[in-house]
Amino acid sequence: MLKRSGFKSRGSGFKAAAGELRRSKFKKKHTKRKEGYSNPDYMSKVAALGCAICAMLGYGWVACEVHHRRTGTGGGRRAKDTDTCPLCPNHHTGSDGIHQGRKNWELRFGVTELGLIEETQQKLGFISES
Ligand SMILES: [Zn+2]
Ligand SMILES: [Zn+2]
């Protein structure tokens, strides 16, 4: 005797698969990015410059991270990738870092965040639209 019940369950199996497909359509929404805010090419060029503070202090080229402008940002305003400057981990988020307090940091090194950003843009030949 052949059992045929095994073939009958095929229909419900297909339905389950369709449900999986439907669910997978709900992809995570990407975080909103305004046009021109993301510029990975520029970011990598900034990183290649090496820490701006270390260079100023005569330490030569020091591997760095890319710091985004904080002046005038916050409260929904986001810095563009072209509003950045190169800082090593120590001068970025470390104990001698700008993230410890920008005003004191600027006084200590005799620079301004915006000044460094402009300098970086000039070095890379970037012309700001504003
Ligand atoms: Zn540094
Ligand atoms: Zn930063």
Condensed to tens digits (0 to 9), the pLDDT of residues 62-92 reads: 999 999 998 888 778 889 999 999 999 999 9
> Average pLDDT of 52-70?
97
Residues ≥6 apart with Cβ < 8 Å to 40: 81
Task: Determine the Cα–Cα distance for residues 91 and 128; give it in Å rounded to an integer.
Answer: 25
Q: Ligand 1 centre and the CA of 92: distance in Å?
A: 7
Tell me the pTM. 0.70
Per-residue pLDDT band at 24 (split at 50, 70, 90): very low
> Which ligand sits closest to the CA of 65?
2
Radius of gyration from C-alpha coordinates of the chain: 26
The CA distance from 6 to 39, in Å, is 57
CB proximity list for 96: less than 8 A, separation 6 or greater: 90, 105
Between these two residues, 119 and 11, which has the higher pLDDT value? 119
CA of 99 to the centre of ligand 2 (A): 6
Residue 62 or residue 31, greater confidence = 62
Ligand 2 centroid to Cα of residue 97, in Å, is 9
Ligand nearest 62 Cα, by number?
1
pLDDT at 48: 98
Tokens for 123, please give them: 């070095």
Domain locations in the chain as residue ranges: 40-71+80-123
